[in-house]
Amino acid sequence: MITVLTLFNVLTSFHRKSQKVVFFGDSITQAGAKPGGYIIKMTDALAQKNLSGDYELMGAGIGGNKVYDLYLRMDDDVLAQNPDVVFIWIGVNDVWHKTLNGTGTDIDKFEKFYIAIINKLLDRHIRTILCTPAVIGERTDFTNQQDGDLNAYSQVIRNLAQKFHCGLVDLHEIFHTYELRNNPGNKESGILTLDKVHLNEAGNQLVADKMLEALLNK
């Protein structure tokens, strides 16, 4: 016999609103929304867990973006989508472009813009998950040119996650741990990246696994 409670649960399950999840970042995130990218892999994994109806994943990445680019476009590209969850993954270009072409973002300005982004999201009661920049070079012995800056900027993000009670996917630490186990030749690229920065198949899979874990860990 079907009870009133059972009937209610069945009916509400059909009308449960899916959560809109936006991935906000640079070219790594832009590629993540393409076939083989980490966002697509997350979508596939949700389907395997019979959770496709619970989440709608959207990429909002633009190549070359730094933290202030995200701040300037977040109203149109993120808030206008009315997301429930936002992953912020930025920082590589803020560091890399300092030596690549003389631009970049000083660490104090990086922190200020990042805080402004977080505040805008939290003011809208949007669940916010911060991600540290992964790598600019995959050597495990701290001889990649930007290792020092990348460590410093990653620590800023860790501190902000703690201060504002946001989620954290510490990709900088996750990648380093993976490289220690899987890069015995101390290669500069080819383990998790195509070119020291952008993800290969293994890199996309690792990011997908860790971000999905954070998404489902409420």
pLDDT band per the 50, 70, 90 thresholds, residue 197: very high
Distance CA 73, CA 79 (A): 9
pLDDT band per the 50, 70, 90 thresholds, residue 103: confident
Give the Cα-Cα-Cα angle 133, 207, 184 (nearest 5 degrees): 80
What pLDDT is attached to residue 16? Answer: 63
Q: Which domains does the chain have, with CATH numbers?
A: 20-216 (3.40.50.1110)
Distance CA 57, CA 40 (A): 8
Class of residue 71 by CB neighbours under 10 A (exposed 0-12, middle 13-18, buried 19+):
middle
Distance CA 176, CA 165 (A): 24
Mean pLDDT of 142-154: 96
Q: Name residue 20's beta-bridge partners.
A: 56
- The per-residue pLDDT for range 53-86, each reduced to its tens digit, is 999 999 999 999 999 999 999 999 999 999 999 9
Mean pLDDT taken over the chain: 93
DSSP symbols for 81-138: G--SEEEEE--HHHHHHHHHTS----HHHHHHHHHHHHHHHHHTT-EEEEE----SS-
**Token pair 């800023």 is at which residue?**
156
What pLDDT is attached to residue 98? Answer: 80
Task: Supply 98's token pair.
Answer: 């300092």
How do strand 85-89 and strand 19-25 relate by DSSP bridges? parallel
